[in-house]
Amino acid sequence: MTTRTYLVPVRESRAGTLALQTGQLISGERVGLAFSSEASLLMTLGPSQQWIRLAQGALREMLAPLGVISVRLDPRPVAELTSESLASELLPGPVDAGRPAAAVAG
């Protein structure tokens, strides 16, 4: 059985530590961000965005201590969203082109 992985945007501190990048809904709720392809990540966040590959479960486990329980898959800018597309962007399950972050071994 193959575990599905996603491209997850990260920020790198001056010390080289990586932190997951999160988003915020209009309601104020923080959400995790995940992309199914490098093209989707590039289109949304631009070519300078660093990212890592994470399985859905690992992503949710890393977001849980931050109080983040929802993950948006292939999110788009708010101006492009409709109420129908909001529901389709959520990854199922419980708290589960850019460049890869250099500090992460593939």
Domains and CATH numbers, the chain: 5-94 (3.40.1350)
Classified as helix, coil or strand, 53 is strand
Give the tens place of pLDDT for each residue, 56-100: 999 999 999 999 999 999 998 655 544 454 555 555 443 333 445
pTM of the predicted model as reported, rounded to 2 decimal places: 0.72
User: Is 5 within 8 Å of 91 (Cβ atoms)?
Assistant: no
User: Is 40 within 8 Å of 74 (Cβ atoms)?
Assistant: yes
Distance between CA 41 and CA 34 in Å, rounded? 8
The predicted structure's pLDDT at residue 84 = 52
